[in-house]
Chains A and B, each alone.
Chain A
């Protein structure tokens, strides 16, 4: 059984030869830059680091590292070709911080001293009052991709890996709004002025479709898994009522999922942090096959409960270890114990791809990461 067969078997809710492993490839299964430097040191590898996402400081892990980790998934390394001179995009620095404004007019800042990420500090729509103001927003044009990049994913497929496109156009239908209007404003608009949100969400859908058309123009027929990212949860529950998520957000995901599957994408993953248990049936109904990152420490998200209640209908892609406490701050022994326990709880009948709960961050000690990886290798056979 090769890596791709293993992943597709698990995604079809059957037990492969061993639990598939995704570290460094899928959406929110990646490494931050300074953790990756530790990993390269550990393996004694020297290489130029290719960044994947600047605000989150994520890298594209190299094939050499992914092979050493025996990972089953490879993601396309996208090289977007801009089709416009975006009116908002710029980056600059001051004495103490780096700044950037992205194509959506969203502003970020990262302190030079001990800054780990770029934090949201503002956006072009933060002070808007009504839909007339909203209309002044200049939408970014989805980028194209170099046709020659098809070879890379083709090689991954030929080598027997599961293939993944882990980038999206903007954030999700719920979470792009907060970046542009601010959290308070957007969530208030969703419940009190839904007529202002709907045209935006509708347009976001058409733009996402255009983006995926551009992706599939290059990679068509080679993509096993795509992922949309849309955080529905805080640690205690959903950001907004399940009813609003159900009625205003998930119908758009459903349309996009149907479109992409008709275009030949094998499986759709939803990345949604926090306690999303209240809407898991709706996520399934919207056509998602996999859920990531499976934040097991959040309210009502225990592996036992999730597997028993939803395990037949959705694949858990993540949930391998708590990245808020155990992986960065636990002892290697605690890491081993939790990794083994979660594997035992999630593995039965397939429907599980092992990964950390979210990206592996700079503060994770290398010995904890290795303790997790060794425990996985020792216990991954069915």
Chain B
């Protein structure tokens, strides 16, 4: 197996502790950081996401692949700064006000990052004004993701959408929502631009909306 295939295998099987060493070896052997990122990792994560969507793998397998890719990206990030490649886009994400749950939000962030986006994670219990400030500070952000796990925090999704509209920023960014109790119907009701049922679908949706 050549080095690039080993990188792909390490991402796919979540061998987090091996990824940095493999990337260094691949770079020494002359692979370009651009190929390692795109072919070695982003494409592999795309396949992992597809396997998750079809039920072939479960959340833990996707989680370890995303964690591995994240560590891999850290290794090659400095090498990509010189303009060899640009991120596919920028994505802001956070769990809404009153909600402290972050497993789903973290998975979405990792999957979107794994598909080549720069991700700004605002954390949990994020107030509407914090989302507004982040959108203003990042005029190149195309998509914002709002996460809510509890039925009691779902109303915060609508509040943030209203705040974004009132701030005149909705023309600039698409807002997508997700979380266990959320449905497409609910997204339509509050006027969100998209809904995804799981992290892999969220990554696909962000790509579509950003393009």
Contact = CB atoms under 8 A, between A and B. Distances in A.
A192 B64 CA distance: 7
Interface string B63-85: 11001100000000000000000
Nearest to B107: A184
Nearest to A191: B60
A190 B63 CA distance: 11
A241 B64 contact: no
A231 B91 CA distance: 35
Interface string B33-70: 00000000000000000000001011111011001100
A241 B14 contact: no
Contacts of B55: 237
Contact of B57 (A188, A190, A241): A241
Chain A contact-residue range equals: 10 to 19
A325 interface: no
Contacts of B24: none
Given A240-B60, A241-B57, A188 B103 contact: no
A240 B14 contact: no
A246 to B, nearest CB: 13
Contacts of B14: 188, 191-192
Contacts of B60: 187-188, 190-191, 239-241, 244
Contacts, number: 37
B25 to A, nearest CB: 20
A248 to B, nearest CB: 12
B57 to A, nearest CB: 7
Contacts of A240: 58-60
Most chain B CB neighbours (cut-off 10 Å) among A183, A184, A237: A184
B201 to A, nearest CB: 14
A241 B103 contact: no
Contacts of A28: none
A191 B64 contact: yes
A240 B63 CA distance: 11
Contacts of B15: 192
A134 to B, nearest CB: 15
A191 B103 contact: no
A192 B13 contact: yes
A263 B204 CA distance: 55
A116 to B, nearest CB: 14
B16 interface: yes
A67 B200 CA distance: 53
Interface string A250-262: 0000000000000
Interface of B: 13-16, 55, 57-61, 63-64, 67-68, 103, 106
Closest 9 CB pairs of A and B: A192-B14, A187-B60, A192-B64, A191-B60, A241-B58, A188-B64, A240-B60, A240-B58, A191-B61
